[in-house]
Amino acid sequence: MAAIRLKGSHTVRPCDPTWIGTMALSEWDQIGCVTHVPAIYLYRSPNRSASAIAETLKDSLSKVLVPFYPLAGRLQWIGNGRLQLQCNAMGARFIEAECESSLNDIGDLFLSPQHRNLFPSADYGLPIHELPLFLVQLTTFRCGGVTIAIALSHAVADGPAALHFMSEWARITRGETLQTPPFHDRSVFRAGQPPLASSPRPTLDDFPEYGKPALLLGQSDTSEERKKKTTTAMLKITKAQVEKLRKMANDSREKPMARGFTRYETICGHVWRISCKARGHRKQQPTAMGIIIDSRSRMRPELPREFFGTATFDVIAQSMAGDLMSKPLGFAASKVRETIEKVTDNYVRSSIEFLKNQKDLKDFQDIHSLLRKEEGPFYGNPNITVVSWLTLPLYGFDFGWGKEQYMGPGPYEDDGNCLLMHSPEGDGSVVVAMCLQEAHMDEFKKLFYQDLL
């Protein structure tokens, strides 16, 4: 692919006055990934000039930032690794770029780290209060096609909230009106409401997800594993193969269950088992699997789907690699089920209480390892994290020139990261995007399909 030339960078502010003031963030907004999450949309034939597309997008962005005003604000450190959000209408960043290549020349967008320049990059060297929370890069190609790549701060919105924003932005660009206003009240996630004073103070034993992930036997830190080169594979499984796996899991479950395993539980179990085998773990190797859970439907009362903030958080399933490898799929899938089932309204509230009681949140945030190249949380070998996009409305973002031909996340380079997506064809197949150390990938791919034949 030819080099990408930056043509301009603009600040887009809300077109009407918005609420101005300090918005308290919940503990979840402030932990884990507090940096920007990238995604990209590709349109082959928008049939209009680059400048017309840019003007239309900037205009509609200034409109959608009125109801979604937190995205036009800035974060601010308030001590002890804690952040708050200044809703100050400073605006989003809109970057225009061009590439001499044709879209046909760029290959698979998802797999290639060389496509990083298609994404807007947030400069974490700047003071945080100068960093826009939403950045977008429009790149036009020689063939007339475009990519719209975004980077959206996870401290302000999780995946479901980000997709809600994108879908409303597309609607407004098409000339339609806002469909569902975002729900901005984050107070539901304040700890101690209702007060938990009568219960014992939550500890790390109650929330293993906030502790240190398992290490490879014989290693005292993760420095060696972090140095190893990784690679990503996109592994497609048909609907029939998913059902075959699901049957294998259900037929081998250890205890009676009220309902059979879901696709997520089944595929997680499969990926976890075979990653242990591909990595060559010994029987006594402890391993953990990170699961990102959306708490919207687990709270009582339930949170509105349009809650705009971070309602997702990580929990971990733990096992010995030997058990995962020697027992049938039903064992691994039931570990995943047990972990998800423990997340009730009470668990959510006491998890927040736990974080509230932490003196400093720095150890729980990714941004410090990026800035100072120090060791932050690492979920690589011998652990994995499986993120589900299976139920998210990922596709069909029509800005007025038809739906995208491709939608995907940004470059994917962290050992052990796995993403499940339903395929855009709507045929029930699932795409498993898996990142592993290069040395383990061939074996992983071989084992991945072995049980599906």
Closer of 314 and 353 to ligand COA (Cβ): 314
Q: Does residue 311 contact residue 302 with C-beta atoms inside 8 Å?
A: no
Closer of 292 and 452 to ligand COA (Cβ): 292
- Cα dihedral: 333, 338, 341, 344 (round 10): -150
The stretches of 257-383 forming alpha helices (DSSP H) are 263-278, 321-326, 329-341, 345-356, 367-372
Name the active-site residue from 206, 323, 398, 451.
398
Q: Angle 263-278/329-341 helices, nearest 10 degrees?
A: 120
CB 209, min distance to ligand COA, A: 13
Q: What count of residues does the chain have?
A: 453
Which 8-state DSSP code applies to residue 208? G
**Site for ligand COA (CB under 6 A): which residue of 132, 159, 376, 416?**
159
Q: Is 422 one of the annotated active-site residues of the chain?
A: no
- What track of x and - describes contact with ligand COA for positions 309 through 348 (by CB under 6 A)? ---x---------------------------x--------
Name the active-site residue from 154, 164, 281, 440.
154
How many residues bind ligand COA, per CB under 6 A?
A: 19
Q: How many Å apart are CA 52 and CA 119, to the nearest integer?
A: 20
CB 158, min distance to ligand COA, A: 5
149, β-bridge pairs = 40, 137
**Site for ligand COA (CB under 6 A): which residue of 32, 38, 67, 160?**
160
Q: Does residue 311 contact residue 294 with C-beta atoms inside 8 Å?
A: yes
**Site for ligand COA (CB under 6 A): which residue of 262, 319, 350, 365?**
262
Instruction: Give the residue among 196, 433, 211, 432 at the shortest CA–CA distance from 315.
Output: 211
Q: How many Å apart are CA 54 and CA 432, to the nearest integer?
A: 33
**Site for ligand COA (CB under 6 A): which residue of 158, 314, 353, 415?**
158
**Site for ligand COA (CB under 6 A): which residue of 27, 29, 209, 294?**
294
**Site for ligand COA (CB under 6 A): which residue of 388, 409, 415, 433?**
388
Closer of 53 and 348 to ligand COA (Cβ): 348
Q: Which string of DSSP letters, residue by residue, matches 71-127?
A: GGSEEEE-STT-EEEEE----EEEEEEEESS-GGGS--TTT-GGGGGGS----TTS-
Q: Is 398 one of the annotated active-site residues of the chain?
A: yes
Q: Does residue 312 contact residue 159 with C-beta atoms inside 8 Å?
A: yes
Span from 12-20, 66-74, 196-204, 385-393 in contact with ligand COA (CB under 6 A): 385-393
**Site for ligand COA (CB under 6 A): which residue of 45, 80, 180, 391?**
391
CB 162, min distance to ligand COA, A: 8
CB 121, min distance to ligand COA, A: 20
Spell out the residues 6+ positions from residue 234 whose beta carbon is closer than 8 angstroms to its own: 108, 110, 111, 431, 432, 433
Q: How far is CA 43 from the centre of its chain?
A: 23
CB 263, min distance to ligand COA, A: 3
CB 278, min distance to ligand COA, A: 23
Q: Does 265 bind ligand COA (CB under 6 A)?
A: yes
Closer of 262 and 383 to ligand COA (Cβ): 262
Residues lying near ligand COA in the complex (CB under 6 A) are found at: 158-160, 262-265, 291-294, 312, 340, 387-392
Catalytically annotated residues: 154, 398
